[in-house]
Structure formats: C-alpha cells, structure tokens
A and B are shown apart, each in its own frame.
Chain A
C-alpha cells in the first residue's frame, strides 16, 4: 500500500466512527451505476460499466469449438479478467495477478451457478458447439471490481448475438439470433471496517477494510459467495449481507436489462 493510502484509510476509519462515508453515502447504498451496452461492435456482445469512478468493459466472443467431454451436447463458457496497467498506478504489466484470477473466478461462479447462459442452446452438431469467451477489462480502478465486473459480464451476455453458422463457416457479419439467457445474477460486495459493514466500498474504503464479502444472487437463491482479506465475519453478519444482496438484486437487474 502506498503511504498516502495509509493516511486515507485512517481518515476513512475516523469518518466511519462518526457514521459517515467520504461521499456521504448510506452504508447500504451503491454508488451511481451506468451501463453502456454494445460499445465494441466487433465483439458478439459487450458492455461498459461505470460504478462511481470504477470503470470496466466486458467483451464476449463466440468461437466454433468442441464440447467438454462430460457435456457433449452443450457449449462452453470461459471467463477472464485483466487489471489493465492503465487502470491504476499499482497495476503492473505481466502475467495475470492472483487478484485478476480471483476476480474472474468469482464472476464466473455467480454466472455459472445461476445457470444464466443456456448451454444446450450453444450446441451446433456432434462435436461442434459454441465456445463463449467473456473478457473483463478493468479500465479505471476505484474499488469494488467484483460487482462492476459481474454487472459488465452479465450485461455483455444479455446483449450477445450468436453468429450464423452455414456449411462449416462462421458468418460473423450475420448476427441476429440472441444468446439465450435463462437467469440474471447480480452481486453485492461488502467491506468490514472497524466492526461495521459498508456496501460497495470505493478504493479508499477498500484500503481501510479488514474483511470483504461478495454475495452473488438471482433474487431467489444465493448463487455464489467469496470472502476476502484477512479478517472475519460472524454468521449473523453473513445472514444480513446475504439478505441485503438479495434486496439489491432488482435494482441492479434493471440496469442490466435497460438498453
């Protein structure tokens, strides 16, 4: 952590003790969310998400490929995330960091467990299916990459069109058919600071946090969770956060579905 972040985090804790957040938000309030779908026309699907000053871009590509051995009549889904070095002075070029791998895997688990993408619809013929690639690009970092990335990946998938397949050829110029989406999952990430809990931590709040929890849900079920950092939660706190995540689902889902 940079020295200035240490000072910032002590200020965040000072404010927190008075029940305040730096930007005057309530503890259960998201920052302003803006989703811009179809920003990359070359991709089969895409969406940019602005969550406060955090900005991520998700792109979806569909390639012709083989099914997995255990699901011969279904397509495949692969998720990756890149913390681009232009997003923060602290990100570096080089092989994927543990943080970017965790981010991709958490987003992936929510969408997979929520059975969001209809996998059988990606079957073409024997040994031939669509491989769906979702790449999350972090363009500017200001905390809570989990929720921003989950929103971006989900919104990109909702806006994905499947290329035509004719005589063994993929015709990407012809993309009319929508990717079949069965469910929408959103996530809510919480940070624990000096015993209290905040929704949607920004960069300064994350540097003051001792523990973090991401809860992915479709409103009906909790679909994935990931606890992070060295601290801990009580089981009561986990209950409360799961409930809050479910309450927030409709609001987030509306953003994903608006075009």
Chain B
C-alpha cells in the first residue's frame, strides 16, 4: 500500500473519485468461448481490467507421478502481462504475489469442481491479466469460473469473486487501482452463490465484527449482478448461433 501522507481524498460527498456510490460495481463485461484451442475460455473487462482465462482438460496428468488415481487434480496459473499496468514495464516470470494468487485460486476451484468425476486426470486453469486496474484476482476467478463452465467441467456452482475495502469509516465495493493503493483495507472474497459459501477470503487492515459482517453482505449483494453477467455470457454463446438460424 502506498504512503497515506499523500493520499488523495477517496470519498467526496458520499461518492468515489470515479463517480461511483460506495456500494457500486464498476462496469463488467464477459464473453465466453473466445479462444479456439482451449477447451473453455472467457474474456472479461471489469472497469479497466482486461482478463483472459482458459481451461484445458480433463486431460492426461503431466508429469505422470502427480496423478491422483482417485480424483482429478487442478493446476492454476495466474500471471500479469509485463505491459498490463500504467506503471513501469513489469518483470516477466512468476513472482511471490502471482504464485500466492495462483494457489488460492486453485483452492477455490478445488472446492466446486467435481473432482471425482475424472480420476487420474488434470484440469489446467490459466488466467492472464492483460490490463490491470485493481481487483485482478477477483476478476481472474470470475473469468475462470466462466471458462470452466464453457469447458463443460462438472461443478457444484458458478463461483464469483469481488473485493471489499475500507476508507476511513466507509466500506467500499470493488476497489479500483487507486483505491487499492490508498485504502485502509482490502478484502477479496470468492463466493458460491448457491449457498453463499465463502471459498476465498483474504484481508488486511482493521475491521470491527459489525464491519466484517456488513462487508460480506455487500459482497453477496454485488454477487447477484456478477452472477447474472456470468450466466448471460455463457448462454449468449448458444443463443447467438440459434438466433442466426432461427431468423433465416
């Protein structure tokens, strides 16, 4: 987090610097099945974030000794393009941050993918952050969820993710890069909308019990919008083709 000394006023008259209300999402757009080779894929734009997610599998496990004869294994790569930020050219190759995000993202999907359906196989999830503007791990998980569904992977639910932050006394939804840099707290969450189970939860800063509760309620409320956009993206792939011919 950047120094608080030169922090800009993030909330003015109840509005945020980009004009959003405290509990307002940035514009979110998802397109499913965008890549030809991958078994499933999704392209997502969330605010100025641009994310490509793809899934290969279930496929033969490589290296072979990693195969689990009783269930599928999931591998996950989250990576940021060196040209993705408005700042300096990023260093290529995995760093500690990307490695941690890859791990917690994998654990999200280990919870919802029906691993017993494909024993011995491997499911690869690739998340490439092409442009970053805060909340990329939530964007990556939301995109990967759509990619998994579009690959026909058996899952208990279509997971979404979103971040809640805190500026002074205020809780804010879906932090952009500037807010992420200067806020007092950031709490990304991934949630299974069917039962509101929490599948990813990270946090730093300070929350009272009441604030924590309110933050989770905000995430769930936003989840209704995010879920709908995910579902519409998947349905659109098939409706588009259907409309083309039904109008003929």
A residues near B (Cβ < 8 Å) are: 39-43, 46, 53, 55, 57, 59-61, 63, 80, 82, 84-89, 93, 95, 131, 133, 135, 137, 139-142, 172-173
Contacts and interface: CB of A to CB of B under 8 A. Distances in A.
A84 B126 contact: yes
B234 interface: no
B204 interface: no
B126 A40 contact: no
Interface in B37-68: 37-38, 41, 48, 50, 52-54, 56, 59
21 contacts: A39-B50, A40-B50, A40-B83, A40-B131, A41-B131, A43-B131, A57-B130, A59-B82, A61-B83, A84-B126, A86-B35, A86-B53, A86-B128, A88-B37, A89-B37, A131-B89, A135-B81, A135-B82, A135-B83, A137-B128, A140-B35
Nearest to A82: B92
B89 A63 contact: yes
A42 B86 contact: yes
B224 to A, nearest CB: 29
Contact of A86 (B41, B48, B84, B131): B41
Nearest to A137: B81
B124 interface: yes
Nearest to B85: A42
B36 interface: yes
A89 B89 contact: no
Q: Is the interface of B mostly helix, strand, loop or mixed?
A: loop
Determine which residue in B37, B56, B132, B133 has the highest number of CB atoms from chain A within 10 A of its CB, and name it. B37
A139 B131 CA distance: 14
Contact of B83 (A43, A131, A172): A43
Pick the most buried of A55, A131, A139, A140: most chain B CB atoms within 10 A of its CB: A139
Contact of B48 (A41, A63, A133, A141): A41
B77 A61 contact: no
A42 B131 CA distance: 7
B243 interface: no
Contacts of B132: 42
Given A80-B92, A89-B59, A139-B35, A40 B84 contact: yes
Nearest to A131: B89
Interface residues of B, number: 31
A89 B40 CA distance: 12
Nearest to B125: A86
A89 B126 CA distance: 11
B210 interface: no
Contacts of A137: 81, 128, 130
Given A42-B83, A46-B83, A142-B36, A89 B56 contact: yes
A87 B98 CA distance: 20
A95 B93 CA distance: 7
Interface string B28-39: 000000011110
A86 B83 CA distance: 18
A173 B177 CA distance: 14
Contacts of B130: 39-40, 57, 59, 137
A139 B133 CA distance: 21
A174 to B, nearest CB: 12
B89 A61 contact: yes
Contacts of B35: 55, 86-87, 139-140
A139 B52 contact: yes
A122 to B, nearest CB: 14
B126 A86 contact: yes
A59 B83 contact: yes
Nearest to A85: B126
A42 B45 CA distance: 14
B37 A87 contact: yes
Nearest to B49: A42
B9 interface: no
B85 to A, nearest CB: 6
A85 B77 contact: yes
Contacts of A53: 36
User: Which of A42, A88, A140, A141: most chain B CB closer than 10 A?
Assistant: A42
B87 interface: yes
Given A86-B54, A139-B52, A61 B59 contact: no
B129 to A, nearest CB: 11
